[in-house]
Chains A and B, each alone.
Chain A
């Protein structure tokens, strides 16, 4: 790793890795995406030094919008200290030398995989999503030539049939993440594999949302304060997951929880998926029902130690 650091110090790579021409190309795609909310803009995605499927789309979008004064937060599964978040944050620390943070409110750019922070985002923030499969219709129709036509004609019958069949078979819509939404009454869009719990957050969000899919070479966007509706039926309205317990560590309710298995006897604990949110609440003195449990304590302490860095 040190060798790489030296290379960047020697100025062998441009600020934030990509050359300026590539960044301009990406910014054009972003602007087009903002102009047509929810529309997937093809862009000439580059090979990045991390594998496809590991966030290359998000990284390219972030690299294209990052300025020297930005403060970057990098999360994966809601947490700042999952291995890939650590690796991608390190990449921008090295190649761009920007300030990074764990605190949601401090960041100007937040790159995320699979979650949206619990704390509401502001107008002066941008959230960048890593997207594996940008096409919401892909698993109903594998051909890009067909799905592009369907979007052009606003022909979303197939998606409604799928949701209807779910209800007919299971009594409810059996999609729990990457739950399809309609943006600005026009395009059906995949909000990336965030749990549907986060779908209400992207509706009328104050922050700009950018979605980057590197391998599939697509960028799409939702401008601030845009209507985003999760697909549903009048008699089967959209619902988010509910947890019957609060966070074991900080006692938060109405947040997304991770299930942590504590032992091999069925012992488990539910904790905030958004580790920064949990940390902040605990610092403010909120305590969950499991906070005193030794196993939970150990888990919480490890997390706190990592967070403190």
Chain B
């Protein structure tokens, strides 16, 4: 009822209470613990950390619990929390070649230094509902046999290609060049690759997936190969001015995807392979791959390609990738708009009045002309 829209104080209070009750559900069922969520819903936790732009498994688990499993809402909670955190500085770039790899696959080489490590994956499993899981007892099955990679070195596939000159070199940047940070400076265009990658890393998995998919279906083809996907733990270091050297803050789990794309070359550049790059928190391979494909698509300008597709349109992609922004603006349509609607009502009524009046006049003129003709 209309009146209920106004006078919200009490309604809001009660809505919050009801929401809390619904969130908890049937109280005879035990409440979820954050450990359970962090351990058993790790993909959800990873997604919330990535899109929420804050690496903390416990907080992400809390956000998921509070958001009743709505992962975009959970990412939003993380973002709103991270806003308030003080910022000490920027870490050193992580070295993914030193990842403690749990999974590493390449679709371009059958075997390669360091080997292929299948690791935990849904790939190659039959998607049959496992009814045994419904009655799962506590306790573990026999642990899987994991072959520890003896050889420490696990060079990136792109580096192997680079040694042969087949891969475009990584762009050389000045060590002291400032890093773009769209949480500190508003995004402006044209946006350099550092900002683009940051935007994609925070972007919505579904949006990037659809864009990447569109490039495979002909909307801006990039001929991608999954050069390498690796997942594992990597150290984060911070250069402490007071000490004069970098100290390790801890480790994070990341998925890195290096797409290898064909490039025919141009007048200035010999034919070579080009890179698309994806890096996300946790094991989120779908997004890392999508990110790499969209990154490559957006590089059309520097590589002298013709733009033709949505995935190549930097302003379009970067302006709409953030699901926290998107969900806020779409859902704000739930807010009352009756002042503007009133103005539109008035306009439509007036325009309808004019339309009917005009038609009436035309009919009169028509019949008058007919009478005159008779």
State the CA gap A145–B6 with chains docked (Å).
Answer: 40
Is the pair B13, A79 in contact by a Cβ cutoff of 8 Å? Answer: no
- Give the distance to chain A from B236, nearest Cβ to Cβ, in Å: 22
Q: Is A105 an interface residue (CB 8 A)?
A: no
Is the pair B185, A81 in contact by a Cβ cutoff of 8 Å? Answer: no
**Stretch from A51-59, A182-190, A204-212, A222-230 forming part of the interface with B:** A51-59
Q: Is B183 an interface residue (CB 8 A)?
A: yes
State the CA gap A129–B99 with chains docked (Å).
Answer: 49
Question: Which chain A positions have C-beta within 8 A of B16?
Answer: 1
Q: Is B206 an interface residue (CB 8 A)?
A: no
Question: Which chain B positions have C-beta within 8 A of A276?
Answer: none
State the CA gap A196–B346 with chains docked (Å).
Answer: 12
Q: Is A42 an interface residue (CB 8 A)?
A: yes
Is the pair B343, A302 in contact by a Cβ cutoff of 8 Å? Answer: no
- Tell whether A195 pairs with B336 under 8 Å between CB atoms, given A170-B351, A303-B6: no
Q: Is A106 an interface residue (CB 8 A)?
A: no
Is the pair B328, A177 in contact by a Cβ cutoff of 8 Å? Answer: no
Q: Is A44 an interface residue (CB 8 A)?
A: yes
- Of A1, A44, A145, the residue contacting B186 (CB under 8 A) is A44
**Stretch from B82-90, B263-271, B296-304 forming part of the interface with A:** B82-90
Question: Which chain A positions have C-beta within 8 A of B336?
Answer: 76-77, 82-84
**Stretch from A65-73, A245-253, A257-265, A280-288 forming part of the interface with B:** A257-265
Q: Is B345 an interface residue (CB 8 A)?
A: yes
State the CA gap A258–B345 with chains docked (Å).
Answer: 11
Instruction: Produce 1/0 per residue, B184-202, CB < 8 A to A.
Output: 1111111000000000000
Q: Is B347 an interface residue (CB 8 A)?
A: yes
- Tell whether A114 pairs with B340 under 8 Å between CB atoms, given A81-B8, A215-B328, A306-B9: yes
Question: Which chain B positions have C-beta within 8 A of A85?
Answer: 8
- Tell whether A132 pairs with B343 under 8 Å between CB atoms, given A19-B84, A217-B187: no
Q: Is B12 an interface residue (CB 8 A)?
A: yes
Question: Which chain B positions have C-beta within 8 A of A78?
Answer: 339
Q: Is A24 an interface residue (CB 8 A)?
A: no
Q: Is A104 an interface residue (CB 8 A)?
A: no
State the CA gap A273–B341 with chains docked (Å).
Answer: 12
Those of B1-22 within 8 Å (CB) of chain A: 2-3, 5-9, 11-13, 16
Is the pair B3, A144 in contact by a Cβ cutoff of 8 Å? Answer: no
- Give the distance to chain B from A21, nearest Cβ to Cβ, in Å: 9
Q: Is A167 an interface residue (CB 8 A)?
A: no
Is the pair A1, B338 in contact by a Cβ cutoff of 8 Å? Answer: no
Name, among B183, B189, B347, the residue most crowded by chain A CB atoms within 10 Å (CB to CB). B347
Nearest residue (CB) in A for B333 is: A53
Question: Which chain B positions have C-beta within 8 A of A19?
Answer: 84, 86
State the CA gap A180–B197 with chains docked (Å).
Answer: 36
Is the pair B339, A171 in contact by a Cβ cutoff of 8 Å? Answer: no
Question: Which chain A positions have C-beta within 8 A of B76?
Answer: 47, 51
Q: Is A45 an interface residue (CB 8 A)?
A: yes
- Tell whether A144 pairs with B8 under 8 Å between CB atoms, given A19-B84, A176-B346, A215-B325: no
B residues in contact (CB < 8 Å) with A: 2-3, 5-9, 11-13, 16, 76, 79-80, 82-84, 86, 183-190, 315, 319, 324-325, 327-332, 335-340, 342-347, 351, 354
Q: A44-B185, A47-B82 are in contact. List 12 more A-B contacts (CB 8 A).
A: A13-B84, A19-B84, A44-B184, A47-B80, A51-B328, A52-B327, A145-B315, A170-B354, A171-B354, A193-B340, A195-B342, A197-B343
